[in-house]
Amino acid sequence: MKIEAPHISAHNELLLDNHREAFAYLQRQLAQKGLDADKIIEQVSELQTAIPSWALGAGGTRFGRFSGIGEPGSLEQKIEDVGLLHALTRSAGAISLHIPWDIPGDAAAIRAQAAELGLAFDAVNSNTFQDQKGQAHSYKYGSLCHVDDAVRAQAVQHNIEVIETGKALGSKSITVWLADGAAFPGQHNLRHALERTLDSLKKIYAHLPADWKMYIEYKPYEPNFYSTVIQDWGTSYLLATECGPRAFTLVDLGHHLPNTNIEQIVATLMMRGRLGGFHFNDSKYGDDDLTVGSIKPYQLFLIFNELVYGMANNTAGNPPLAWMIDASHNVKDPLEDLLQSLEAIRLAYAQALMIDTDALEEARQANDVTRAQEVLQDAFRTDARPLLREARYRSGAALGPLALYRSLDVRSQLARERGKATIATGL
């Protein structure tokens, strides 16, 4: 299924009068603070978030999986789904593949299909947290950190193959997330496990094409509940700096202990030019994979505040960031969920761009703590949604993506085309 321009314009026609009124009001409010709505719209429009191939089907838990209907049963259908999201929002212009769940049979054809929908290939993701059929060695006791040379060599080789797959698609980066860790105290010599991991990462890095980046993701716990080899941003940063200038830390919002100050991590990494990218999601307890902005929208806004500052004051040469959603759950229609996440990401960005930074800095210099908080919260509490709608309208997308998705009854049509019982590859 495809969403065509006439669908969008017929939908926009119905909402346009109300939108224009709301946008004009916001534009005046912003102008009073010396902010240019057009400039914010331009910046917001440039923010493109990659959709991971594993978020397009229902995500399971360790207790069960409840499939939806019309799930994408092939890589082509996953790309078709991302194409729908991008047509509705013009904010999901990339797809991030998981290898081996999504190995393209014909890379050139897949690339052409994506290009036709306006999609690029973002980072490719390796998987050494599961054993694959026919694999010589098991990852039960780790992969890049394993005590056995042969297991480590196999895991390194897999990452190299993932890079090769990415090259054929036009990807420019690989994300390494490891489940490696110890389930119980005593299982690992903690220092040696980290040393072996660094050694393996260096071997992968040695195969990185000159125009590629390697993102090293961290996570404090799960699946191992005693220790994780790359447990935090500091460990990731250490590994990245040891590997070389094209290795970076990747921040996944769900991969922190409760109440961690993630915006501070962002500020520190950008100070060193080592923030590679983001995996967006939201959580209440742990790595919950909830819809972006559904639990802690203020935290997301504060994170974007640091990102905006870091991008505007890029003294350490931090590269452009890779934005990706990393979420998947059991109950919502995945496409509806992703539409909500895409909206939440741009909303937090727009809110951060609406901060009166001069007033904020003035308050800081005067140690006026109350005023500093007021300035931040004024931006957070201003309804930025008209900016997002205007950004979509100007780029040919829908004023109300979710409303249009529902009125076109996209899911039923996908179910008719694909059959009700298709299951997306993944966990």
Binding positions for Mn ion, rule: CB under 5 A:
252, 279, 326
Q: Which is nearer to Mn ion, 232 or 252 (CB)?
A: 252
Taking the C-alpha atoms of residue 328 and residue 330, their distance in angstroms, rounded to an integer, is: 7
Shortest Cβ distance from residue 327 to Mn ion (Å)? 9
The two most distant CA atoms of the chain are separated, in Å, by: 66
DSSP-assigned states of every residue in 334-382: HHHHHHHHHHHHHHHHHHHHTS-HHHHHHHHHTT-HHHHHHHHHHHHTS
Q: Which is nearer to Mn ion, 281 or 422 (CB)?
A: 281
Cα–Cα distance between 43 and 35 in angstroms, integer?
A: 13
CB of 402 to Mn ion, least distance (A): 24
Q: Cβ closer to Mn ion: 252 or 263?
A: 252
In terms of Cα–Cα distance, which of 120, 335, 142 is closest to 226?
142
Write the DSSP symbol of residue 54.
G
CB of 281 to Mn ion, least distance (A): 8
Q: How far apart are CA 426 and CA 144, in angstroms?
A: 22
Smallest distance from the beta carbon of 262 to Mn ion, in angstroms? 13
CB 398 within 8 A of CB 8: yes
Our CB check for Mn ion shows the closer of 23 and 278 to be 278
The answer to whether the bond into 401 is cis (omega within 30° of 0) is: no
Q: Output the smallest distance, CB 396 to Mn ion, in A.
A: 31
First and final CA of the chain: distance in angstroms? 25
Instruction: State how far the Cα of 12 lies from the Cα of 403, in Å rounded to an integer.
Output: 11
Cβ–Cβ < 8 Å for 251, 278:
yes
Q: How far is the CB of 175 from Mn ion (least distance, A)?
A: 7
3-state secondary structure (DSSP) of residue 115: helix
Q: Report the nearest approach of Mn ion to the CB of residue 25 (Å).
A: 38
**Which of residues 123 and 363 has its CB atom nearest to Mn ion in the complex?**
123
User: At its nearest, how many Å lie between Mn ion and the CB of residue 279?
Assistant: 4
Nearer to Mn ion, 179 or 238 (CB): 179
User: What is the three-class DSSP state of 250?
Assistant: strand
Query: Residue 395: which residues within 8 A CB-CB, separation 6 or more?
Result: 45, 90
Of 252 and 337, which CB lies nearer to Mn ion in the complex structure? 252
In the bound state with Mn ion, the residue whose beta carbon lies nearer, of 58 and 325, is 325
Nearer to Mn ion, 289 or 343 (CB): 289
Q: Nearest CA to 276 among 228, 309, 241?
A: 241
- Judge whether 151 and 143 are in contact, CB under 8 Å: yes
Shortest CB 217 distance to Mn ion, Å:
6
Closest by alpha carbon to 81, among 338, 300, 263?
338
